[in-house]
Amino acid sequence: MATILIVDDSPSQVAHFVKILEAHGFDHLVAEDGASGVALAKSAKPDVILMDVVMPELNGFQATRKLTQDPETKDIPVIMVTTKDQETDRVWGKRQGAKGFMVKPVDEAELLAEINSWL
């Protein structure tokens, strides 16, 4: 089954995503910040990355840019999942290389559809 990397500094959000992913047979990995997410993506090569934006040190925009510009990780789809709901955030996320952009709280069916569209 596909492996999904969750990059989010909120334990409650991570738990929510893990519950959804496990219920639908996905394997998952977790990174608590952008820098750890980039490192884990390079070593584990997940099938899809769910990326929060607001995180300490390396935020989700910066981490996404690093991932999409690196030859080792550029083909891994990044879906930004964030509380940032402005059109400028969506545009900026896409400019950093994100394939998808979802606003929290996410609907389970919509999240699964977005993940599956990139597998």
Question: According to the model, what pLDDT value does residue 72 have?
Answer: 96
Q: Are 52 and 7 in contact (CB under 8 A)?
A: yes
The pLDDT value given to residue 1 = 87
Per-residue pLDDT of the chain (119 residues; tens, 9 = 90+): 899 999 999 999 999 999 999 999 999 999 999 999 999 999 999 999 999 999 988 999 999 999 999 999 999 999 999 999 999 999 999 999 999 999 999 999 999 999 999 99
Q: Report the CATH number of the 3-45+57-75+87-110 domain.
A: 3.40.50.2300
Q: What is the pTM of this model?
A: 0.96
pLDDT attached to residue 52? 97
pLDDT of residue 56: 87
Query: What pLDDT is attached to residue 57?
Result: 86
Q: Where are the domains of the chain?
A: 3-45+57-75+87-110
